[in-house]
Structure 1
């Protein structure tokens, strides 16, 4: 396992292409057009085709256009993905994603025909020796509970997003380091209009944003009121910080001036994070976790300590063992939907102690075993018998973002990044424009299993799909229902022959809702898209969720780009329920 990161400005910049300028001033017409589109939510997937390169995102189509500009000016897939991700955070005010959040990357290098993975996910805090007592929690079954319960600096973890941007660029990037920041700095300085959906960010968090002086000055208007639809948010402090990182490298945040301010702000709220925690952070480069899924399909994804890749492969194995595909598509056959719900329910075992999971399954519950067909057979038998928790209720009467980029050479970069908190987090700490969430407020049990300062497993599911030895699909997922969405998206492409946009637009089921009192599950689907006889035929309780509720209703988001290995034609598709976009040329 190799660890690497960008400590300062790369020495190879002198060899980078001259005359590269990614600032939107160079593509102003498209900038205005895509900025206006930010205010409109989609009802179907965005689609783009091309041969020279493509970028797709789950949110913020303007960011995808920034990434496409990186490709047009000679950048590769990593340049495009990092440019896009940096711009996404600025366009969301650091609420669902953050420069101090997390990132996972799966990268296919066409020149070497190799797949690489990078883990820039959470580190736990070195001084936290009693994680079970970290306060806070999130209750996804309650409109109020989703925003968290307790303010505490102990809920902060060490995020690797910016270190990951530096490490990915240092190893694979082609454009000058400072240029990939240009679109994000432009957005922060010039500002962006608040959409109706984003207005809800502020209305739900207004009191929390007013708690600390710096947060209040950054995200509330001069009179202390919340931003509303049509207001323009400018982030001058963020622009200054991004310029500092662009000029001085990621050490500015991991040991430098920003690190000192961040540690002080977290400690002021009772946290234990120190500058040493940030200085000790590094990304993890590793070989991909790979699985043959039959019929020539092979998947490459992030290995442990990431947890989502294991769960993703486990679910595909379970689908085969359960005979799910023999039932038909889950939008048309109640038996298939019932099995699909049961297969994805198995991910609940990620949240119980490994020794308990092993006893339930009747065998090892290690990452290496969980991706095997033998494990799938044992686990499916247990599921059919009935897990002792998380069972379905009987019918009743009557954040994060994704980027996938492919360049003209065939390189593929798929990333997922997140603040891993609900809209800034309850503590809502902001340091020089950069948001610090509260991801430890609901992961106390997982943190308690690790030594202080360790890498915390994340559920992100990002990967590259091969067919007969050729890379044909890059994908990434996000949202509370990312496991369910990835499971469905992959099956739609691999076994039902769908294009990426068809796979996204086909009705999907969300993460189930759990009753906090009984633990019983109710499955959730987009309103009006499943035949009622299919839903009723499962014998399980269900709830229909409409677009305005989807974000907090267990929705998963999955974006992907297909590449025809014979013609080189690219087909990119974005999410179908927000301001996403797919672009290509």
Structure 2
């Protein structure tokens, strides 16, 4: 009771103090004994409380992720999946793969009609779009291997938030408003996110999620078995049967998270530690940094046309390789990861870059390619504890609020990750619709992802923990933050706040954030032959910088995130 009172008191105070205490603008938040950075201030505070109580970075990441499943339903989740990269203070590095899997009944043509076209957007809407969730298995595995506090204790903040409620965010209001016109389509979701199933929640009103609290208590009591077996599993399977889904009790029973070896590279004396496939993020970030390493990015200038040009060309070539080679390693054992992350290969790619003119992305130049829609609605957690252990964790439901289906009686949203597979085998066009073998649907296969949880180390110690949501843009967001820190020597807040660009090979267009770039930069960039379009924002990076000399921690939550906050002590 005492622990619960302390946590609730902190959360209650934060409701009133958040406008004053929230990390904003370009000022990093300093801390000496630990820090947590997320897209929701209550989750950051929950993780920081665990650190304050003596938990390590893994403990805090687990507690934070479960808290986010309550406070950030658009992306925080029990019904999704993701990746975790861990670097301890002794130099050990590892990763946890808890990406969702295709159900046993899935097939490569499952979303196609008799004409070979996608039927009714079924790979993104409805329960056929749901992959077997991995989040609970992944968090449990991470804790069993590397946690220090009791599992039960780590679930307390999330349970308290679900039972006692928290203020409905203005950023969540649009979803509640949307449900007003779709409550017959999503009745179990309306039960959670509409007041009395008839009114939208307004900002500041208290949202309680009692079914979700009961689910969390089953997980608290039984670990991963509290989700993949017993009552929660039955609720999932019953909901599937009633709504034309195909996930079965066997799918849940056979799901396993994996501990895997990270992919690593080096950039200007720093070690880059990233997630291996089925995440494409680690390989892609390392490949792009290898290409950029031969250029004097600092001398070119921050966000100059020259630096953006070479960065775009690195993005173009790397995304083409991502398309051609990467997928689930359990189904693609011969992926050339050593080649893609090598300095020699980067040198060969650089030979094809002209500093005076843009290359052309042409799907006809590739016999196979993969790139298609990925939603920007993901979320990232960065944690460093007082001992210098670091966690970079990215997880998602795919689209905002995933499939928009809440499991009746269980209180959590299901993902729509099946849309991350190539839905039309063999079909590629210049607009970015592509269908290659490495990422075609198969039973128990994990879909390719762009999530890029990354840790940068120097002399065996973490110095930068970074990640972001943003679908395919995640890779390029993480790249640019790393370059901003290492090449341009920006502090973590300025590195994150700096405007960003995105190019993904196909379509052959570069997207600029609508603010922060000078008209002259855009003009010179276009004169090089690049097609340019603007977008409102790109990503919501969450980062921590560890000063190698003083050991002081500096955290920054991207101001692009409405409720984001860095919290330390």
TM-score by length of 1: 0.82
- 1:461 aligns with 452
Residue in structure 1 matching 2:509, options 521, 525, 531: 521
Note the alpha carbon deviations across 1:422-449, whole angstroms, 9 max, x for none. Answer: 3232556555111102121352347853
Instruction: Specify whether residues 209 and 168 from structure 1 end up closer, same or farther in structure 2 by C-alpha distance, changes over 3 A only.
Output: farther
Alignment-derived partner of residue 532 in structure 2: 542
| Alignment correspondent of 1:8 | none
SS in 2 for 1:44: coil
Establish whether residue 274 from structure 1 lines up as the match of residue 266 from structure 2. no
Deviation at residue 345 of structure 1 after TM alignment = 3.3
- Tell me what 1:485 maps to: 477
In 1, Cα distance between equivalents of 2:134 and 2:19: 30
Contact 1:46 1:581 in 2 (8 A): no
Match of 2:104 among 126, 135, 158: 126
**What's the counterpart of residue 96 of structure 1?**
75
- Determine the structure 2 residue equivalent to 1:113: 91
1:70–1:428 distance in 2 versus 1, CA, 3 Å: closer
1:325-340 equivalences under 5 Å are 325=297, 328-331=300-303, 333-340=304-311
Report which stretch shifted further, 556-565 or 445-454. Answer: 445-454
Aligned counterpart for 1:373 among listed residues 325, 339, 343:
343
| Change over 3 Å in CA distance of 1:293–1:572 after alignment to 2 | same
Deviates more, 1:235-244 or 1:198-207: 198-207
Q: Which residue of 2 aligns with 1:579?
A: 563
What does residue range 391-410 of structure 1 map to in structure 2 within 5 Å? 399-410=377-388
Distance 1:341 1:209, change over 3 A: farther
- Any idea what SS the aligned residue of 1:436 has? coil
How far apart in 2 are the matches of 1:435 and 1:102?
12
SS in 1 for 2:214: helix
Q: 1:496 — aligned with what?
A: 488
Are positions 1:316 and 2:328 aligned together?
no
CA distances 1:442-481 after superposition (whole Å, capped 9, x unpaired)? 5234785354112333211112211233322222222232
Q: Alpha-carbon deviation of 1:501? A: 1.3
Aligned-pair CA distance for 1:491? 0.5
Q: 1:243 to 1:326 in 2, by over 3 A?
A: closer
Work out the CA distance in 1 between the residues paired with 2:553 and 2:364: 41
SS in 2 for 1:183: helix
Matches within 5 A, 1:289-300: 289-294=263-268, 296-300=269-273
User: Which range moved further: 451-460 or 98-107?
Assistant: 451-460
Cα pair distance change 1:43/1:534, threshold 3 Å = farther
Structure 1 residue 255: Cα displacement: 2.4
TM-score by length of 2: 0.84
Q: Is contact 2:179–2:186 with CA below 8 Å preserved after alignment?
A: no
Q: Is the 8 A contact 1:287 1:303 kept in 2?
A: yes
With over 3 angstroms needed to count, the CA separation of the structure-2 counterparts of 1:46 and 1:400, relative to structure 1, is farther
Q: Is 1:44 the equivalent of 2:25?
A: yes
Rounded Cα–Cα distance in structure 2 between residues aligned with 1:352 and 1:570: 37
Q: Following TM superposition, by how much is the alpha carbon of 1:305 offset from its aligned partner in structure 2, in angstroms? A: 3.0
**What SS class does the counterpart of residue 541 from structure 2 fall into?**
strand
Distance, in Å, in 2 between the alignment partners of 1:382 and 1:134 is 38
Equivalent residue pairs, number: 522
CA distance in 2, matches of 1:35, 1:103: 29
1:239–1:373 Cα change, 3 Å = same
Which digits, 9 at most, give the CA deviation of each residue in 1:367-402, with x for residues without a partner? 2211112322343455654220499xxxxxxx2211
For 1:155 and 1:227, how far apart are their aligned partners in 2?
A: 27
Match for residue 532 of structure 1? 519
Residue 539 of structure 2 is aligned to residue 556 of structure 1: yes
**What stretches of structure 2 of length at least 5 have no aligned partner?**
114-119, 327-333, 366-376, 424-435
Aligned to 2:316: 345
Q: What do residues 35-84 of structure 1 show as CA deviations (whole Å, max 9, x unaligned)?
A: 34668997525632122111111x10121111111011111111111111
Residue in 2 that maps onto 1:60: 40
Aligned residue number for residue 11 of structure 1: none
In the TM superposition, residue 311 of structure 1 has moved relative to its aligned partner by 1.0
Query: What residue in structure 2 maps to residue 236 of structure 1?
Result: 210
Q: Which SS does the other structure have where 1:444 is aligned? A: coil
